[in-house]
Structure 1
Amino acid sequence: MKVLVALGTRPEVIKLATVIAALKQRVEVTVCASGQHREMLQQALDAFGLRPEHILDTMSPGRSLNILAARLLEGMDAVLEQERPDWVLAQGDTTTAFCAGLAAFQRQVRVGHVEAGLRTGDLNSPFPEEANRSLLARIASLHFAPTRLAAQALGAEGVDPARIRVTGNTVVDAIHQAQARWPAGIPLGIPTDIRARLDAGPAVLVTCHRRENFGSVMEAFCTMLARLSERHPELQWIFPVHLNPAVREPVHRLLGGRPNLLLTDPVDYHTSLYLIRHARLVLSDSGGIQEEAPTFGTPVVVMRQHTERMEGVHAGFATLAGQDTEVIERSVDAWLGDEARRNSLRARPNPYGDGQASARILAALLDEPCEDFRG
């Protein structure tokens, strides 16, 4: 069996690295990097020691999603023609994932969708991710749902239950692998400015990069963070700022120079996990952080109108605060003011996975029996 794994963004690398490692034990594997997020992609590839056999040149600044999709389809078609795989694996909801799946489907190659079934029910939130993953569900041969809730969403859309496997989320596998490589429980190469802030006092981690939060929403978030950092001078606020100019410009303009608020470039995967583990609280619009934080018992205030990851909310790890800064502030203050509530999270299992997702995906591709994740 030959499997082509397509990836193009940092989260895809993180969530597919352990799958690639598991596949290589039993089948022939080829990795294709789409080039969708070239700078941050390479950082993640280095973290896992991955060297793709194919690297496409598809992303240009200022180009539309349609142009990106056209270039991805053309590039993936050439790779499929050369490699002729039995399966194409795509992860999540990116333009890379959808185009890899569509290109495979149109060449009658079976598609396996990792992290299938996540839904908000609103095609515009997040945009275009909700559409990408919904469309992938129509053409995938196997759906690797991370949780039972995701499997139920697929079933409600008419997907044959025989083609759904509840695997757990591969991001939990990645966390286990990463932590195993930390000498004395601390990753190598933590930037000195971040280490100094962690040594200076308890920290709050902030990330924000979603398209629906650009513009006036991003500016409102920044104004809110300025208030929070002033109201909580005992805390170190650490904000790795996304490379997108729509994020960097307002963040640096409105938040630069504050004594207890560190604006830094995007951090590597190991540093990111270490920050989550040591944060008192995370404010984020990231999907991956919602899945990662429960492993460390760290609460998350989700700065989005919808989340396709309600398992963390239901399990008490996350608060879905929306985009209203007053609601976000109240949620932040509620978590910061309730130490007992925060401490209670440490004994709870991660509702997103148990570290065995990659093994379950391999078993499904080989048509071997494997018990579903039941977290």
Structure 2
Amino acid sequence: MDAELNALIDAVRDAAALGRTVRLRGSGSKDFWGQSLTGDVLDTRAYCGIVSYEPSELVVTARCGTPLAELEEALAEQGQCLAFEPPHFSQGSQQGATVGGMVAAGLSGPARATSGAVRDFVLGARFINGLGEHLTFGGQVMKNVAGYDVSRLMAGSWGTLGLITEVSLKVLPIPPAEATLMCAGLSQKTALNLLHRWGGQPLPLNASAWVRDASAQPEADYLFVRLRGAVAAVQSALGKMHDDAVALGAQVQQMDNTEAAQDWRASGEQCLQFFDAPSTDLCLWRLSLPQTAPVLDLPYAQYVEWQGAQRWLWAPASAAVALRELAQSVGGHASLFRASSAHADVDKAAGVNTPLDLVQQRVQRQLQKQLDPKGVFATGRLHPI
């Protein structure tokens, strides 16, 4: 693999010398996201493979181009998993999501609120900075305190700070028991209050999702909750949570585990009916809020995850200012996750992410100056240049 690694290093050094910008790309499964897709494409898939895996130590190290599906399959054979359930978004991509893209995107699935985010599982990383230097940060153990925690900084950087070549991740055993409850008839406010009450109790609550089914006659509200943990803990919690929801007027039933698993995966991959664009002039917005944020007064249907911390809705790009002001009023922020395919460039003129304040801009500039002084990775994907 030395030749593949050297090719990546040479490509970055050439770009720095010629004043060019490069856009890092694995399979392209997340090309829909971001402010722009500028720069010469630098394909990372050739540098692939699982470098080391110690199931007894709960640590795996893989190269950036390794297919995410390949990594998850290797973990599953040992009864282990990536607890943050990273989405693949692989429809239409050439190979499927890659490990490097997973870390660079920093996106997590349904279990994020209880299990943690991608960055919480990054133990160490190697990456190529904007000068073509191959740097190593962190390691393969939890208690690593040498130097700055730059490896976790790369999670969610979307390839704007450097090219991740290798990453070490903490993995966890697959929980021995799992169950999903479907609670029909709970309004969003009632559902959030119930989730917050459950969150303060020793219950194996792992994931949640609330949605209003507008296709039903009449419309119906549904709260789904997934429990994971020890067999005794899950069985004990099922009865209590069932009774709590029924006491609030919900109709509760336990879902078949196979069917529920498919639905939770579809939720993380955004394949549920809610994520089909209602019209070509609407964009998918993501509101990232404190879990305790109240129900927001919005004229748009919502899909609420992470016990209230992540809320999806379809709204026009013109609603950017109003959505961001409302999100900021409760301590959160709003981002344009998917633009309309018909008006992508126009929609993104509103800004994919909430504009940085002066302090955040200064921090971002200093990071860019230290890691990428020649602007090799300055594609403007996070914010307009």
Q: Which has the higher strand share?
A: 2
The TM-score with structure 2 as length reference comes to 0.32
The structure carrying a bigger helix percent of its residues is 1
Task: Compare relative contact order (CA 8 Å, sep 6+) and give the higher one, 1 or 2.
Answer: 2
Radius of gyration: which is bigger? Answer: 2
